[in-house]
Structure 1
Amino acid sequence: MKPAEERKRPIKVCHLITRLIIGGAQENTVYSVWGLSQGGRYEVCLASGPTTGPEGTMVPQVVEAGTWYREFPGLVREIRPWKDLCTLWALVRFFREERFEIVHTHSAKAGILGRFAARLAGVPVVIHTVHGWSFGGYGSRLNNAVFEWLEFLAAHSCDAMIGVADAMGVEAERRRIASRSKFRTIFSGMDLRRFTEAARDGALAERLGITSEDRVAVTVARLFPLKGHEELLEAFPAILREEPRAKLLWVGDGILRTQLVARARELGVADRLVLVGLVQPTEVADYLALSHVLVHLSHREGLPRAVPQGFACGLPAVAYPLDGTPEVVLPGQTGCLVEMGDRPALVDAVVGYLADDVRRRADGERGRSMVLERFSIESMVAGIDRLYRQLLAEQSADGR
């Protein structure tokens, strides 16, 4: 293989992800594909399984942008042995036919099948990005053991792994999946200007019933299990007793919507809960600009994109100290970390920001400065490009 600098034709790369729903991992992947496609060095394909359901889809945006897109009908989240085997061989054939030099996988299912398929197809360079692990304290012991075993095998079927936070490599080494030396931390890039320039939209606020007197705690997440909406809702009556101007603004949709609305009515707080529903990533900043603090209580997240997005809008964050979150939510500087299940601490943290404008603005500005240094799309793409060049050069030196 010739070194990348000596080549005249583009390097063929395939990014593979399980679904292209509206979510953080998907946005990261799409921005990576678009960024790498600029300049002519890489010819990039984006492949995924079918994308259906209440979480929305980014497929139309990808297709309209002219991205080389390929869908594999059998690539689904659920474990279906026969379908998974058929999809594995479909990926092997595709990688061989297109003669990709790099396969870069994302998410659990696509990451496992994609890495195995790439190795079977003889792809020279195989990389996986960990956006968040598929195991943890919320799953059964058997499921966790199976996923850890599969992740161990897949980790040894690739050349390098990218973590969206240092915590991804730390956890991999702790569970003996892979050594930290196999990891590179590349923060998830986003269109920061959209957030730093966002301003309060009076018409949008009026449509949502948000007044200038309200103090808004915003959550940007799918209404799905393990996202923490239930914990925040149960704490909200106590928040309202301390800060009667408080409102919850939830951006996102999902299968728990009906259940959460019913519970809000039972708690007597439905009139202080604003559910926006599903919005496109380009619209998220408009809702953050109406808010005072971002509350992100997900139980499972590599490094939640909503947190740096909130920082870019000048919002401090309240979150659980899980995965990569403590790397950006710094107590007393950019936000507040509360232990899962500690409702009084959650109440105090949220009320503290809603009631104290001086503290809120100071922590929000520190968060904004951090984000501008670390989370641009350009920085993310440059980091991926450097890794690609390094691995291609190593393969060339090895004669592969």
Structure 2
Amino acid sequence: MKNKLVRITTVPISLEKLLENQLRYMNDFYEVVAISSDEERLNRFGENQGVRTYTVEMTRTISPLKDVFALIKMMKVLKKEKPFIVHTHTPKAGIVGMLAAKIVGIPHRLHTVAGLPLLETNGMKRKVLNFVEKLTYNCATKVYPNSYGLNEIIVREGFCESSKLKVLANGSSNGINTAYFNSNFWSDNDKLVFKESLGVLESDFVFVFVGRLVRDKGINELVHVFDKLSSGIKNIKMLLVGPYESELDPLLPETVGIIKKNKLIIETGFQKDVRPYLDISNVLVFPSYREGFPNVVMQAGAMGLPSIVTNINGCNEIIINDVNGFIISVKNTKQLHDAMFRVYEDTQVYESMRDKSREMIVSRYEQLVVWEAIHEEYKSFENDL
């Protein structure tokens, strides 16, 4: 009889994207149950992965009354299922899942940290979020930062004693399927046709951003820098691949204005499969303010793209400066401008980085290696039976 494993995220897209196919893999060894919000989407995920699901509505904002209801329902589900392991991801699922698991007496309570949004807040909100973060870690029996830099931040901020922390494999929550993220899927003609459909010329040098179009991802800086660059260079384009989140983290009005006005900026909206967009691009630009371990930087590297990233945890572990990309300071528009211009202007530097990009991802972050490391961690608890 298999031990029962419960995996919890705030919203199903985290199960789909951050943990893509991991639950199906774990289902070979455990009876896996997924818990998240949005019943219809969660049910589709469960059918796709072959796992049972429970819907517990959770919000990504501070909402005490809704959080209490979510906690009560989560306790009922966990009390009914009696899992051997509860493993949570994302902040709200972390506090609701870990607190519920501790109250009902689940023996192994694991929480993965894939970023700390609170680092960009201050005042009373920061104090509240600090308290919630500490409570989450206190309720967990083990905490897994998904990068070494994040591990250091957690210790520095005093959220958790270092003995409870562990980075699995080389970091990342899910690794990357380098067979799937591979530029060999498309012929030169396929790429040409796709470029034409977007209004990208064969001679264009294409910068690409993939992710949410929000302030915290550095989109204000990126758009302003590209607008300045494109005023003097006409054979460049920029793809913005991702959705706006105007309610949670809106862009500056002038940024939105530039995006709409500059014809060299191409918006694609959310895309389920980002590979074709990476495949027709030359460089990923990812000037985020904070991350855990960004999947898109691994994905771009696996597709053979150098990356321009900020000097934050995760990004500065995947990218080695001047080897497979450039590392710049957060919110530094001059450094961003100089890096984008250099990778465009210096063909030798660009070609060298491109040649190294894929091999550096394959050797360090292959998906199966990460899955096996998580499975080995789970197995280590079986001695407690």
Q: Do they fold alike, i.e. is TM over 0.5?
A: yes
Q: Is the 8 A contact 1:103 1:123 kept in 2?
A: yes
Q: How does 1:165-244 map to 2 (within 5 A)?
A: 165-186=147-168, 187=172, 188-196=174-182, 197-199=184-186, 201-241=191-231, 243-244=233-234
How big is each residue's C-alpha offset from its partner over 1:207-238, in whole Å with a ceiling of 9 and x where there is no partner?
Answer: 00111110000000112231211111111133
- Note if 1:19 corresponds to 2:2: no
CA displacement at 1:263 relative to structure 2: 4.1
Matched, 1:96 2:82: no
User: What is aligned with 1:252?
Assistant: 242
Match of 2:143 in 1: 161
Partners of 2:39 and 2:241 in 1: CA distance: 20
**Superposition deviation, residue 82 in structure 1:** 2.2
1:42–1:179 Cα change, 3 Å: same
1:302 match: secondary structure: coil
How far the C-alpha of 1:145 sits from its partner, in A, is 1.8
Aligned to 2:370: 380
Question: Which residue of 2 is the match for residue 66 of structure 1?
Answer: 50
Counterpart AA for 1:60: R
Q: Which amino acid is the alignment partner of residue 70 of structure 2?
A: T
SS of aligned partner of 2:215 = coil
Q: Does 1:42 align with 2:25?
A: no
TM-fit CA distance, 1:331 = 0.8
Q: Distance in 2 between matches of 1:265 and 1:144?
A: 31
Change (3 A) 1:260 1:26: farther
Q: Which region of structure 1 is more displaced relative to structure 2, 179-188 or 321-330?
A: 179-188
How far did residue 143 of structure 1 move? Answer: 1.6
Which sits farther off after the overlay, 289-298 or 323-332? 323-332
**1:286-318 CA distances to partner (integer Å, 9 max, x unpaired)?**
110100100001212112111111111111111
**Structure 1 residue 268 displacement after superposition:** 8.8
Distance verdict in 2 for CA 1:60–1:365, change over 3 Å: farther
Superposed CA deviations along residues 155-179 of structure 1, whole A, max 9, x for unmatched, are 1211211122111211110011113
267, 273, 277: which one aligns with 2:269: 277
Q: Cα 1:80–1:341, aligned 2, differ >3 Å: closer, same or farther?
A: closer
Tell me the CA shift for residue 264 of structure 1: 6.1
| TM-score, length of structure 2 as denominator length | 0.90
Letter in 2 for 1:270: N
Q: Which letter maps to 1:252?
A: G
Q: Is the 8 A contact 2:219 2:287 kept in 1?
A: yes
Deviation at 1:352, TM superposition (A): 1.4
Residues 329-338 or 175-184, more deviating: 175-184
Paired residue type of 1:171: I
Q: Paired residues, what number?
A: 375
Q: Provide the rounded CA distance (Å) in 2 between the counterparts of 1:323 and 1:360.
A: 24
Looking at structure 2, the residues matched to 265 and 59 of structure 1 have their Cα atoms a distance apart, in angstroms, of: 39
Equivalent of residue 112 in structure 1, options 95, 116, 120: 95
Indicate conservation of the 8 Å contact 2:21/2:49, yes or no.
no
| C-alpha contact (below 8 Å) 1:242/1:351 kept by paired residues | no
Cα separation, 2, equivalents of 1:154 and 1:342: 33
Higher relative contact order (CA 8 A, sep 6+): 1
Q: Which runs of 4+ in 1 moved over 6 A?
A: 257-262
RMSD (Å) for aligned C-alpha atoms: 2.4
Question: Match of 1:125, as an amino acid?
Answer: H
1:145 corresponds to which residue? 127
Which runs of structure 2 are paired with 1:360-375 in the superposition (5 Å)? 360-375=350-365
Tell me by how many angstroms 1:66 deviates. 3.1
The equivalent residue for 2:330 is: 340
Q: Distance in 2 between matches of 1:189 and 1:179?
A: 26
Separation in 2 of the partners of 1:366 and 1:79?
A: 43
Contact 2:220 2:251 in 1 (8 A): no
Task: Give the Å deviation of 1:121.
Answer: 1.2
Shift of 1:284: 0.9
1:294 matched to 2:284? The reply is yes
- CA 1:230 to 1:111, structure 2 compared with 1: closer, same or farther past 3 Å? same
Checking the alignment, whether the CA contact within 8 Å between 2:181 and 2:302 is kept in structure 1 is yes
Q: What's the CA shift for 1:183?
A: 2.1
2:107 is the alignment partner of 1:124: yes
Q: Which moved more, 1:90-99 or 1:57-66?
A: 57-66
- Name the CA distance, whole Å, in 2 between partners of 1:119 and 1:49: 21
**What is the percent sequence identity of the aligned residues?**
24
